[in-house]
Structure 1
Amino acid sequence: MPVWGSGTSAGCGRRDAAAGPSGGMADASLRYFWEQGRVSRMDAAEVSWTHAANSRARLMEALTGGCQPASTPPEPEPKTLSPSPYSPRPNPGPCHMIEADVILRGCEPTEPVMAHPPDTDSDITLREWLEGVREHKKGIKLDFKSLEAVAPSLPLLTELLAEQKLPVWINADVLCGPGGRARPLEPAAFLSAQGGPVTVKGSWLTGGPRVCAGYSWEEVHRMEEVCESLPNPVTFPVRAALLAESFSQLSWLLQQSPRYTLTVWTGEKDDFALRDLLPYRQEFHLSRIYYDLPDPVRTQLGMASRHQSTDV
Structure 2
Amino acid sequence: MMRATFTFTLSTVLLFFSALGEGSSASSRILPSVTEFFEVLQDNLTEVTWEHAVNSQAALKEALNSSDIMMIEADIVLGYLEGNSTFQLPVMAHPPSNTSDLSFEDFLNQVIQNKAHGIKLDFKSLEAFNASCTILQSRRENMTFPVWLNADILDGPVNSSLIGEPVDATKFLQLAVTHLPNATLSLGWKTRYGTDYNITDGSYSEANVEEMIKTISNVSLPITYPMRAGLVANSLSAIEKLLNESANGTTLTVWSSAGDSVDNETLSDVIKKIGVSRVYVDVPDELWGRLDLKSSPSSGIKIGAVAFGTLLAAFLFAKFF
The normalised TM-score by structure 2 is 0.72
**Matches of 1:295 and 1:268 in 2, distance apart?**
9
Deviation at 1:241, TM superposition (A): 1.0
> In the alignment, is residue 97 of structure 1 matched against residue 71 of structure 2?
yes
> In the alignment, is residue 176 of structure 1 matched against residue 150 of structure 2?
no
- Shift of the 165–287 alpha-carbon distance from structure 1 to 2, 3 Å rule, reads farther
Deviation at 1:163, TM superposition (A): 3.2
- Shift of the 230–307 alpha-carbon distance from structure 1 to 2, 3 Å rule, reads closer
- Shift of the 111–251 alpha-carbon distance from structure 1 to 2, 3 Å rule, reads same
- Shift of the 119–271 alpha-carbon distance from structure 1 to 2, 3 Å rule, reads closer
User: Where do 1:16-95 residues align within 5 Å?
Assistant: 28-34=33-39, 37=40, 39=41, 41-65=42-66, 94-95=68-69
Could you tell me which residue of structure 1 aligns to residue 93 of structure 2? Answer: 115
Q: 2:170 aligns with which of 184, 188, 197?
A: 188
- Shift of the 197–280 alpha-carbon distance from structure 1 to 2, 3 Å rule, reads same
Query: Contact 1:45/1:301 (CA < 8 Å) preserved in 2?
Result: no
User: Where do 1:141-180 residues align within 5 Å?
Assistant: 141-179=120-158, 180=160
Q: Which moved more, 1:218-227 or 1:148-157?
A: 148-157
Deviation at 1:192, TM superposition (A): 1.4
**Matches of 1:140 and 1:117 in 2, distance apart?**
19
Deviation at 1:262, TM superposition (A): 0.7
Question: Can you give the 5+ residue segments of structure 2 that lack an aligned partner in the other structure?
Answer: 1-18, 23-31, 302-321
Could you tell me which residue of structure 1 aligns to residue 305 of structure 2? Answer: none
Note the alpha carbon deviations across 1:65-119, whole angstroms, 9 max, x for none: 3xxxxxxxxxxxxxxxxxxxxxxxxxxx621111111122354433221112222
Deviation at 1:148, TM superposition (A): 1.2
Query: Contact 1:178/1:211 (CA < 8 Å) preserved in 2?
Result: no
User: Where do 1:239-250 residues align within 5 Å?
Assistant: 239-250=228-239
Q: 2:112 aligns with which of 131, 134, 138?
A: 134
**Matches of 1:53 and 1:296 in 2, distance apart?**
19
SS in 2 for 1:135: helix
Question: Can you give the 5+ residue segments of structure 1 that lack an aligned partner in the other structure?
Answer: 1-11, 14-26, 66-92
SS in 2 for 1:248: helix
Larger radius of gyration: 2
Deviation at 1:310, TM superposition (A): 6.4
- Shift of the 61–309 alpha-carbon distance from structure 1 to 2, 3 Å rule, reads closer
Point out which structure has higher relative CO (alpha carbons under 8 A, 6+ apart): 1
Note the alpha carbon deviations across 1:115-145, whole angstroms, 9 max, x for none: 1222222211111101111233211111111
Q: Percent identity?
A: 35
Query: Contact 1:55/1:123 (CA < 8 Å) preserved in 2?
Result: yes
User: Where do 1:239-278 residues align within 5 Å?
Assistant: 239-256=228-245, 257-278=247-268
**Matches of 1:303 and 1:252 in 2, distance apart?**
22
Could you tell me which residue of structure 2 aligns to residue 208 of structure 1? Answer: 193
Letter in 2 for 1:159: S
SS in 2 for 1:304: coil
Deviation at 1:284, TM superposition (A): 3.3
Q: Return structure 1 stretches of 4+ with deviation > 6 angstroms.
A: none
SS in 2 for 1:224: helix
The normalised TM-score by structure 1 is 0.74
Please report the RMSD computed on the Cα atoms of aligned residues, expressed in angstroms: 2.5
Q: Give the structure with the higher percent helix.
A: 2
